[in-house]
Amino acid sequence: MKAIVCILSLCVPGFSGYSQTTVFKGQLLANNSVLKNYTIIINGKPATTDDSGVFSTAISSSANQLTVQPSDKNYIISYPTGGRVLVPKDPLLLTQIVLEGFQSNDQIKSYLATLAQLKDAAKKGQSETKALQVKIDSIAANLKKAGYSNDDLRMARERQDGIDLFYPEISGALQNYILQAQSLMIAFKFIGVYAFVNINALTQYAQTQSGFNQAFEKLYINYPTYSKKIGDYWDDPSLQKTFEGIADSLIYGIGKNQIVPLNDLKNQINKYFQNQVPDKDKDKVKKEIQSQIEAQVPGITDQLNAMELRVKQFLSRLKN
């Protein structure tokens, strides 16, 4: 029995020493808002934020300073400088840590902008390419002093190349969808009035319908790719969610749920002119078709106009 007591007594100091820890709490901010569900590295150990951007982790009670690092290459530590955080004396205090999108860093922006100038000058055979290369090398040297590696700079170039490639593609797909859908609504108004006077109005409508179908298919098919590329190349996670919300509204909310069903009206007009409607019912059918167009098209047009503004705002963010 004495032996057992002796063993336990030897173990107690060990446990006591191991338990000398305290809790460090912090809050992550990025793009002027809290950064939710993001894993930050504190002294080499991961800690994940909640919906308020707050994390907590156990640290040594003797620690006066911690090293904070992002868990991926999407962000860099903007504040505190160098990712060195002083531990507050009161463990209940919340330390704010500001992250910055990797591509948003001013020196990275300058580096990439100068690279773009160099590419443009090289295409034109201009003589200032040497001076631009010297500027690029100088900026790169400063970035390396600040802790950026060659891999970081390569990643920044690859991201910018991706943005240069996909911004025109994404913006073109969204803007063309809006344009073709608006043109289709104008065409519906047109056939509602003129198709019963001149059947050629249906031919013009068919051309507009074809343009919309192509725009719809392009956005529908490429939706997953566009969403992924926004997540890959742009450093603001909210842009991907904003794009998905816009695409869902255009493809499903407006396209499949409201525009596609209007094809039934076109089919009714075709039957009208193909003598599939009894003469005695023609006037009634004509008024029903015109009434449906008047009831549905203005509402869809208003939604498209609102989406046009939403797309413009999104593309402005995507471009900048």
pLDDT tens per residue, range 188-221: 877 766 666 666 666 777 778 889 999 999 999 9
Pairing of strands 84-86, 21-30: unpaired
In this prediction, residue 118 carries a pLDDT of: 78
SS (H, E, C) the chain: CHHHHHHHHHHHHHHHHHCCEEEEEEEEEECCEECCCCEEEECCEEEECCCCCEEEEEEECCCCEEEEEECCCCEEEEECHHHEEECCCCCCCEEEEEEEEHHHCHHHHHHHHHHHHHHHHHHHCCCCHHHHHHHHHHHHHHHHHCCCCHHHHHHHHHHHHHHHHHHHHHHHHHHHHHHHHHHHHHHHHHHHHHCCCCCHHHHHHHHHHHHHHHHHHHHHHHHHHHHHHHHHHCCCHHHHHHHHHHHHHHHHHHHHHHHHHHHHHHHHHHHHHCCCCCHHHHHHHHHHHHHHHHHHHHHHHHHHHHHHHHHHHHHHHHHC
Residues 173, 209: Cα–Cα separation, whole Å: 16
- Where is pLDDT greater, at 58 or 272? 58
Residues 224, 231: Cα–Cα separation, whole Å: 11
Of 173, 183, 208, nearest in space to 300 by CA: 183
Per-range mean pLDDT, top range of 3-12, 136-145, 165-174, 264-273: 165-174
Taking only the tens place, the pLDDT of each residue in 88-135 is 888 888 899 988 877 667 777 777 878 888 787 777 777 778 888 888
- Report the share of the chain in percent with pLDDT over 70: 88
Beta bridge partners of 116: none
CATH fold for the domain made of 20-102: Immunoglobulin-like (2.60.40)
Hey, what CATH class is 158-319 in?
Answer: mainly alpha
In this prediction, residue 194 carries a pLDDT of: 63
